[in-house]
């Protein structure tokens, strides 16, 4: 009986294996075009870039001279790189938390029964769809010494605070983070709004019956229920902060001097202006590593959610 | 007959599409890799420059005339408004991609030098002899495009950085056109008193404010030492450099330069000057084109060489010209195109008011520019600082200059920092 049973099972196992194998082949075949494109336009350039980062290539010569890790060592001695890293950290801190807090507050506001709610949502989200170079140009005008911001300060009696915001090394990077927050608030607002609408109303009704205040409902129901949204926003904002380029380039070109250089702009200056393609590419590799590292928790959380 | 879609046929089709797409991509890349070659039976060259749309329209007229006379058509590619910040990068990308233009326009000095150092452009000494360009072009401009004793570029524009002034606003100072450096400072003080912004400048990219520093350095160091400094033949940690930085700081602190100058965009500032917003601008001849474009009368503006109190009286200048790439598939037609471009008739068609071609008569409507053409033949110029220093050195300078203007670095510390950034060449 046992023997008969073994004989019966074997073909079924083989057939299951063969089906799985065929399914894998089909899946691979379907994915192949995308994988080919991915390999050609992403993987190959990425590997090639890593190779360049170990050379002293000027970006023009036909010959690349290998210099080992010296481009990476140079970063530790480069004073502009130190400024750039410091600015990236400032950028990350400001442009992650301010848009998260403001976006959350706006989401709470527009989630309630407010008159003209769709219109208000659109208004708050609108900056997020504007091209960053255009945003940079507009805010550059606003921050000019004779611009609207200084005029407003004078108008409300704060004339003593007037400053050449973008022309002063101590204020320039902070000034650029303001339009970054302006642009970056719409996205968290939308995500929080979607997440808020997914919280069952029963929770709030029960809390109200138990006598919970608005603040207690916010603290013990709303905020914990939005943990997935917090994680997504935090991770995406961190990745964006590591890659920042457009606004800085458009508003100050890394200046005054090199006061507002971030890793992205310093990489660009080295690769495209200073003919230090090897060094610039090493900076690009570091940016990528940082972006990948900060993105890992997000990807893992997503994978976990799918499972 | 009907076609039945099965899983296999779908996969097969997708595979074929992928392979086909790959092959077609190869085909299109190889056909576009060379800009010169056969095109409907005729030859085609590519010229790459940074013409504005208005200038490009004039260039096209010249190229059409060349096509008529030679049968060779020319494609014009332009990258207007980017300045030396982006244009060389685009050019480099084209060269690396194997689709270099046959001829390109570029600034001289250290901006064109990388293309020379990496053998991306051909030496033109033989062509200078063949076409007799040496006798037709301003010698100083030819020198600006020469490297390692060889001529690599053909100069087409000689730009001079001088003082341009608004006559009505200068009159408010109660003074005439200053002839010494001290008089310039007296006028500055008088203008501030009269409520007029003395100078307009935009330091966003560094080079606009740099023009002031190099003027001051010519004043404090004199031509001989200034040239040694520019060529890294002597240390920058000297009293003349300290004095020049001190002047720059003083001009910023006294508000003779605009408030927040380091954040101002030079393009916007030039437009403000043309619109009558400041008394002086330290600019090239193109400012007169802005004045004309702003529909302001050129008679409302004047120009003079920045006084240095030194002999000879020199000013900052730079040269732009045409280069032939080593990738050009038709260097013979490329050289013929350049020769045609240099003809006085072509230069007139281009309305090239600051041409390097000596035989071209003054372009009407630009009196200040015509004056600079005369000064170009009687006065020397020194190569503008960001084209004398390497790109890295210029970037270091911009950073130091920014700190000096903001009062965050003393002139003495700035001079010491410059000595580190520009070490004496061995």
pLDDT digits (tens, 9 = 90+) for A217-255: 999 999 999 988 888 888 888 888 888 999 999 999 898
For the domain with range B38-159+318-378, which CATH number is right: 3.60.40.10, 3.40.190.10, 3.40.1130.10, 3.40.50.720?
3.40.190.10
Residue count of chain B, please give it: 426
How many percent of chain B have pLDDT more than 70? 89
Across the range A276-287, mean pLDDT stands at 95
Cis geometry, peptide bond prior to residue A256 (ω within 30 degrees of 0): yes
Please name the member of B120, B399, B405 whose beta carbon is closest to the beta carbon of A258: B399
What residues in A contact B409, CB-CB < 8 Å? none
The single residue listed with the structure tokens 């006294």 is B254
On the question of pLDDT at A116 being above 90, the answer is no
Closest CB to B120: pick one of A60, A273, A275. Answer: A60
pLDDT, tens digit, for every residue of A54-63?
Answer: 999 988 888 8
Q: Percent of chain B beyond pLDDT 90? A: 64
User: Mean pLDDT over all residues of chain A?
Assistant: 88
**Mean pLDDT across A109-129:** 83
At residue A10, the pLDDT reads 59
Please tell me which residue of chain B has the smallest CA distance to A35. B18
Q: Does B300 touch chain A (CB under 8 A)?
A: no
Q: What is the CATH class of B161-317+389-421?
A: alpha beta
Choose between B84 and A245: higher pLDDT: A245
Under the banding of pLDDT at 50, 70 and 90, the label for residue A156 is very high
* Residue A297 pLDDT exceeds 90: no
Residue A270 has pLDDT above 90, yes or no: yes
State the pLDDT at residue A8.
55
**Strand pairing category for B103-107 and B315-324:** antiparallel
Q: Provide the pairing of β-strand B301-304 with B154-166.
A: antiparallel
User: Lowest-pLDDT range, A46-60, A154-168, B29-43?
Assistant: B29-43
- With cut-offs at 50, 70 and 90, classify the pLDDT of residue A1: very low
**B71–chain A Cβ distance below 8 A for any pair:** no
Residues of A in contact with B389 (CB under 8 A): none
pLDDT at residue B11 tops 70? no
Q: What is the pLDDT of residues B142-180, one digit of tens each?
A: 999 999 999 999 999 989 999 999 999 999 999 999 999
Q: Domain residue spans in chain B? A: 38-159+318-378, 161-317+389-421
Contacts of A118 (CB under 8 A, 6+ apart): none
CB contact under 8 A, B89 and A273: yes
Provide the 8-state DSSP code for B425. P
Contact (CB<8Å) B17/A33: yes
Pairs of CB atoms within 8 A across A/B: 113
pLDDT value for B16: 39
Residue-range domain boundaries for chain A: 78-306
Quick check: B33 pLDDT over 70? no
**Predicted pLDDT of residue A307:** 63
Reduce the DSSP state of residue A144 to 3 states and report it.
Answer: coil
pLDDT category at A159 given cuts 50, 70, 90 is confident
- Residue B250 reports pLDDT greater than 60: yes
Three-state secondary structure readout of A49-115 = HHHHCCECCCCCCCCCCECCCHHHHHHHHCHHHHHHHHHHHHHHHHHHHHHHHHHHHHHHHHHCCCC
CATH architecture of the region A78-306: Orthogonal Bundle (1.10)
CATH topology agreement for domains B38-159+318-378 and B161-317+389-421: yes
Residue B373's pLDDT band, with cuts at 50, 70 and 90, is: confident
Residue with tokens 């890793």: A263
Find the Cα–Cα–Cα–Cα dihedral A265, A266, A270, A272, rounded to 10°.
0
Quick check: B5 pLDDT over 50?
A: no
Residue B154, H or E segment: strand B154-166
Using CA atoms, how far residue A262 sits from A144, A269, A292, B61, in Å, is: 21, 11, 18, 44
Q: What is residue B357's DSSP assignment?
A: B
């Amino acid at each position: 009986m046992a023997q008969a049973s073994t004989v019966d099972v074997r073909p079924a196992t083989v057939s299951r294996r063969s089906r799985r194998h065929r399914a894998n082949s089909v899946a691979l075949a379907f994915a192949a075009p995308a994988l080919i494109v991915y390999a050609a336009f992403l993987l190959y350039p990425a590997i090639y870039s890593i190779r360049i980062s170990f050379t002293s290539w000027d970006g023009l010569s036909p010959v690349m001279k290998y210099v080992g890790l010296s481009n990476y060592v140079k970063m530790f001695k480069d004073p502009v790189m130190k400024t750039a890293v410091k600015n990236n950290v400032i950028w990350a801190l400001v442009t992650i938390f301010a848009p998260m807090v403001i976006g959350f507050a706006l989401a709470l506001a527009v989630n309630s029964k407010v008159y003209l709610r769709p219109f208000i949502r659109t208004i708050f989200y609108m900056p997020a769809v504007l091209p960053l170079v255009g945003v940079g140009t507009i805010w550059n005008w606003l921050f000019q010494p004779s611009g609207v911001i200084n005029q407003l300060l004078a108008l409300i009696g704060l004339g003593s605070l007037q400053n050449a915001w973008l022309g002063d090394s101590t204020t320039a990077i902070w000034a650029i983070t303001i339009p970054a927050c302006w642009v970056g608030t719409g996205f968290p607002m939308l995500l929080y709004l979607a997440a808020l609408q997914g919280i069952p109303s029963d929770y709030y009704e029960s809390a109200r019956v138990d006598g919970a205040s608005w603040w207690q409902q916010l603290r013990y129901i709303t905020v914990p229920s939005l943990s997935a949204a917090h994680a997504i926003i935090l991770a995406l904002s961190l990745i964006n902060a590591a890659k920042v380029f457009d606004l800085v380039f458009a508003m100050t070109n890394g200046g005054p001097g090199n006061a507002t250089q971030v890793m992205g702009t310093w990489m660009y200056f080295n690769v495209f202006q200073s003919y230090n393609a090897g060094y610039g590419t090493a900076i690009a590799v570091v940016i990528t590593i940082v972006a990948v590292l900060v993105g890992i928790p997000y990807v893992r959380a997503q994978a976990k959610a799918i499972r | 007959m009907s076609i039945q879609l099965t899983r296999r046929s779908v996969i097969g089709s997708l595979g074929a599409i992928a392979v086909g797409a790959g092959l077609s991509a190869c085909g299109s890349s190889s056909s576009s890799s060379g800009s010169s070659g056969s095109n409907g039976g005729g030859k085609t060259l590519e010229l790459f420059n940074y013409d504005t749309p208005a200038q490009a329209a004039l260039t096209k007229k010249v190229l059409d005339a060349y096509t008529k006379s030679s049968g060779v058509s020319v494609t014009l590619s332009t990258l207007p408004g980017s300045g030396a910040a982006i244009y060389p990068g685009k050019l480099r990308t084209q060269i690396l991609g194997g689709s270099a233009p046959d001829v390109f326009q570029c600034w001289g000095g250290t901006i064109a030098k990388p293309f020379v150092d990496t053998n991306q452009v051909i030496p033109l000494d033989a062509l200078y002899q063949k076409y007799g360009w040496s006798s037709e072009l301003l010698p100083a401009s030819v020198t600006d495009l020469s490297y390692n004793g060889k001529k690599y570029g053909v100069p087409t524009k000689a730009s001079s950085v001088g003082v341009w002034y608004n006559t009505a606003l200068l009159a408010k100072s109660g003074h005439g056109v200053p002839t010494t450096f001290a008089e310039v400072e007296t006028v500055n003080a008088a203008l501030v008193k009269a409520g007029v912004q003395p100078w307009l400048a935009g330091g966003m990219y560094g080079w606009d404010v740099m023009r002031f520093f190099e003027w001051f350095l010519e004043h404090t160091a004199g031509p001989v030492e200034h040239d040694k400094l520019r060529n890294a033949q002597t240390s920058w940690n000297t009293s003349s450099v300290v004095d020049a930085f001190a002047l720059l700081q003083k001009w910023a602190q006294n508000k003779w330069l605009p408030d927040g100058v380091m954040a101002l965009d030079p393009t916007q500032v030039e437009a403000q000057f043309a619109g009558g917003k400041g008394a002086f601008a330290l600019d090239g001849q193109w400012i007169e084109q802005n004045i004309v474009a702003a529909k302001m009368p050129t008679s409302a503006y004047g120009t003079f060489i920045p006084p240095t109190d030194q002999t000879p009286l020199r000013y900052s200048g730079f040269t732009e010209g045409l280069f032939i790439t080593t990738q050009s598939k038709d260097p013979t037609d490329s050289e013929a195109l350049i020769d045609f471009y240099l003809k006085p008739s072509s230069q007139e068609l281009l309305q090239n008011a600051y041409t390097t071609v000596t035989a071209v008569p003054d372009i009407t409507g630009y009196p200040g520019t015509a004056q600079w053409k005369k000064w170009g033949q009687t006065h020397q110029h020194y190569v503008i600082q960001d084209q004398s220093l390497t790109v890295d050195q210029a970037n270091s300078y911009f950073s130091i200059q920014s700190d000096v203007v903001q009062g965050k670095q003393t002139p003495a510390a700035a001079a010491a920092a410059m000595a580190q950034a520009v070490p004496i060449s061995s």
